[in-house]
Amino acid sequence: MKTSLYTFFEKIIIENIDFEGYGFSNEMDLYDKIQTLYNIFKKEYIHNNNKHLSEVLLFSEWLRGLPSSLTVPFENYLILENALLSGFDVSDENKEDDFLESYWLNLSKAFFTLKENL
């Protein structure tokens, strides 16, 4: 079995960062990409009316809005197809629903894991 340095959710984050339109190079190292993405998120989404909430929750909400700097797979069929290809058990409707329900929050947690560990 092939192992990876990054989790399923971390890979989705890493593979979908795109700074085109922001004036930043996509050729920077991963640490700088994550830090730049975090700064974009804070500038675009953190405001006085929501700054008291968890950044993990806010980042998951920001992702659902499909920011151009990080447009992850968002169609349910594609999310489930990727999950299945990566070995997740989405073999029945309940398991599919559970995976889809936790998808955005798991992506957010993966982003903050990368941010804290790079």
Phi/psi at 70 (5° precision): -155, 75
Q: Does residue 88 belong to any structural domain of this protein?
A: yes
Distance CA 33, CA 19 (A): 9
Distance CA 80, CA 76 (A): 6
DSSP secondary-structure letter at 28?
S
Range(s) of the domain holding residue 39: 8-117
pLDDT tens digits for range 67-112: 999 999 999 999 999 999 999 999 999 999 999 999 999 999 999 9
pLDDT score of 13: 98
Report percent pLDDT > 70 for the chain: 97
Q: What is the pTM of this model?
A: 0.93
Using the Cα atoms of residue 33, residue 18, residue 80 and residue 96 in order, give the sign of their dihedral: positive
3 pLDDT tier (thresholds 50, 70, 90) = low
5 pLDDT tier (thresholds 50, 70, 90) = confident
95 to 8, 83, 88, 101: CA distances (angstroms)? 17, 11, 9, 10
Give the count of domains, the chain.
1
Q: Does residue 44 belong to any structural domain of this protein?
A: yes
Res. 2: pLDDT tops 90: no
pLDDT score of 101: 97
Q: Does residue 1 belong to any structural domain of this protein?
A: no
21 to 39, 68, 114: CA distances (angstroms)? 15, 8, 23
